[in-house]
Each structure stands twice: as structure tokens, then as C-alpha cells.
Amino acid sequence: MNIFNAVKAIFRKKSDAAVEIPPERDNKIRDERNWLKELNKRVNKRLVWAEAQTPWLEEAYGQDFYAFLYSPDLDHTIRTKVLQRLWDINNTYDCLDNNHWEKKHPFNFPGPFYTGESDSCGTGDGAAPLNVLYDDCAQEYVFRQPRNYAELVCVLEAAAVEVFDSYSSDGNELWTYQECKAWWSNKASLIHELNQAGLCEVNGGREKMYLEYLRTDAETDLRKYCYFLEHQHYPAHEKIVLPDL
């Protein structure tokens, strides 16, 4: 499933010919469809470019993406090697070079990438639609860590275009098992916030991706991350006993 199909699934609704749709609701559906068409054009263009970077990233850092992403020196590798190759520059790219740990957005899902106080320009979802969402003030946060090299490139693009340079990639050096457990203990509060009207309006329904993630794979992903934090390597197979939350 490509990014467009994943986003489109959020808005997919069962049709019922027997139900008369009020004019205002019909207009909203039309607006959503028009938005999806524009998003499709934008996302597919970005995805083609992002996926085109996968071969050289796999050659340089291996086909085991999670072993690369969850490594103690990821931040240094990203800032001094990946960014330079990605945008063909000689010096470290002017993003991801600040620590925002003390002001990190509480909605960030634990992992290497996180945001502090971002701008409200609304660029994050266009660059990384499967990884970045907004709060009710349109400030960005990473709701899901990258799952492959293409999504990694998308998150790096989101970081590069964010005006306040609010993204950081040093989470592997800062998160602890105990902090992850504390974060997870606030899941109910996070779900409550994700259902608030203001946030839903800003995200246009995309917040449902985060809600679905929290209901499904998030707990296992976080337990695997906690295993990495405790052992400094990502669990190699499913039979490994993971830390509890």
C-alpha cells in the first residue's frame, strides 16, 4: 500500500444510498475528496523521490533498516553523512543540529526523531504524511518513527523545511526505559487530546492514523525500542523477550 492509499483509507466510508446526505455534509465530503486529490499528487511526487534514495542507503547502511535506525550513533551518522549525500552538499545541512529535548512536544512517539517547538506553517504532513501530524496550534510532532528508508527520507525532508529547526535526531541518546514507560502511562490522555475538535480540524482526519497506531502496533514497537535502550541493539527476532511497559 502506497502513502496515498494509506491516507485515503482514513476517509473511506461505507456508502448508503438510503441515507440522504445533508448539503453541508456533502460539501465537506467534496472538500475531503478534493484535498485527497491534491495530496495524492504531492505525496506521490515526494514518495517517488524518497523511494529512489533507498538503493544507496541500503548499500551504505544495510538492508536491515531497524538495525540502522536504532543504533547509538544514528544522530552523528544522519547529520554528518546522510544529509550531505541526500542533498549533495559539502557541509552539514542546517537542520537536526539542535537539541530540543527539554522542550520536546509531548505527542512525539518515543524514538530517534522528535520535535520541540515548531512553526505552524503546515509543511510536515506534506513531507512526511505517514510520520508527522499537528497539534491544535499546527505545531508538528513525530507520531510514528520511520519504518523504512523511504519514510526516513520523508522525515528528514520534514526537518529540512521546518523554519524553526525544531527537529532532532538524538532521541536514541536521550530516551530511557523508564521515560518510555512514563510516556506510555499517559496514553489515555494522549488519546483524549487526539480526539479534540481543534486538533481534528487542523489534521483533517489524519489524526486517525495515530489513534489506530496506538490501538495496534504502538505498544509492541515501544517495547522493542525499550529493548534497544536497555541492550543497545534492536531485537533481532520475534522470540526475544521484550520489556514490559
pLDDT in tens, 73-85: 999 999 999 998 8
Residue appearing with cell numbers 499546527: 138
Q: Report the pLDDT value the prediction gives residue 214, as an integer from 0 to 100.
A: 98
pLDDT at residue number 15: 36
pLDDT classification of 208: cutoffs 50, 70, 90: very high
Please report the pLDDT score of residue 140 as a whole number: 95
Q: What is the pLDDT of residue 23?
A: 55
Band (pLDDT 50/70/90 cuts) for residue 34 is low
Q: Could you give the percent of the chain with pLDDT greater than 70? A: 80
CA distance 227 to 127: 30
Mean pLDDT value of segment 203-229: 97
| Ramachandran quadrant class, 107 (left: phi over 0; alpha: psi -120 to 50; beta: rest) | alpha
pLDDT at residue 3, rounded to an integer: 46
Q: What is the pLDDT of residues 138-193, one digit of tens each?
A: 999 999 999 999 999 999 999 998 888 899 999 999 999 999 999 999 999 999 99
237 pLDDT band, cuts 50/70/90, is confident
| Domain parsing of the chain, residue ranges | 21-231
Nearest in space to 210 (alpha carbons), one of 149, 150, 143? 143
